[in-house]
Structure formats: structure tokens, C-alpha cells
Amino acid sequence: MIESVFGPLGADRARPCKPAEARRAVERAVAERCRATHTPCDADALSDALLVVSELTTNAILHGGGVTDFQVDVDGPGVRVSVSDRSDELPVTAPPTDPHGRLRHGGHGWPIVCRLSRDVRVSDLPAGGKCITAVVSLA
């Protein structure tokens, strides 16, 4: 089930401008799936998925030139979130200190995404930019 959370494809398709909008889309998709399958929603698993989508969306906004596409797919025991942006730069894990030994601020998002997701893929887009897809277990 792919939730078209921000309208049909095309030039007028809205995208989440804020991480909170992306989180609401994931909450909606997971809640609908739980209702449809008459299964309880694991609050801890949903929290992990919400943190992952928040980090991916924040990184796309801060480092990728903005969100260019967003999809949520709830299938089986997991939620798949795809966030596309304009940047061709791959995500990296920055060392905790700069070359002068001073502690860096930030830099925790990508390790969080990798730790909480059971699968993470980064794909180049034909027109430029990238799509990061993360699958978070809901069980």
C-alpha cells in the first residue's frame, strides 16, 4: 500500500516542507494499516519510524536543497519511507570533532537513520539528486 500522502504526481504535488508534516504522513499511513488489518500498533516501532522520517526530511531540507519527492509505503511488518532531494552528495557520518579537536554540533541524523532502519538505500535520480529509502520494522 503506497500512500499518496501529498496528492497526485505532477507539478502541483505538494511535498512536506517541515519534518512534522512528514511525521504526520507516516502516522496516518501506519494508523490506517493497523485499522485495516485489525492489528495493534507498536508505539516504540512507530516512534522509530517517526524519528527516521524526521531525520531524512531534515537532512533533505538542510543539506539537499529541499524535499523533491516523498512516499510512504506500509507493507507487511514495516514502513518504507522514501525522501528525495536535489543534491547528488551522499550522506556521510562526520567525526565527532573537527580537525582542531573541537566537538561538532549535529551530525547525528544519518547514524540514527542507519541504526533504526532494517534497510537503507541511496539511489541517484535520472534528473539529478538522490532518493533515500529507509525501511523501519513495525514489529
Domains of the chain plus CATH, in order, are 13-137 (3.30.565.10)
**Is 86 in contact with 15 (CB distance < 8 Å)?**
no
Q: Helices 43-63 and 19-37: crossing angle, nearest 10°?
A: 150
Listed in sequence order, the residues at least 6 apart from 96 whose beta carbon sits closer than 8 Å to its beta carbon are: 103, 104, 107
**Is 21 in contact with 14 (CB distance < 8 Å)?**
no
Give per-residue burial for 84-116: e unless 16+ CB within 10 Å, then b.
bbbbeeebeeeeeeeeeeeeeeeeebbeebeeb
What pLDDT does residue 12 have? Answer: 42
Angle at 14 between CA 9 and CA 20, to 5 degrees: 130
What pLDDT does residue 14 have? Answer: 58
Which cell goes with 103?
A: 566537538
What pLDDT does residue 11 have? Answer: 41
For residue 136, with 0-12 CB atoms within 10 Å meaning exposed, 13-18 middle and 19 or more buried, which class applies? buried
Task: From first to last of the 139 residues of the chain, give the pLDDT tens digit.
Answer: 444 444 444 444 457 779 999 999 999 999 999 999 898 889 999 999 999 999 999 999 999 999 999 999 998 889 999 999 999 999 988 888 888 888 877 788 999 999 999 999 999 999 999 999 999 999 8
Quickly tell me which residue has 514489529 as its cell.
Answer: 139
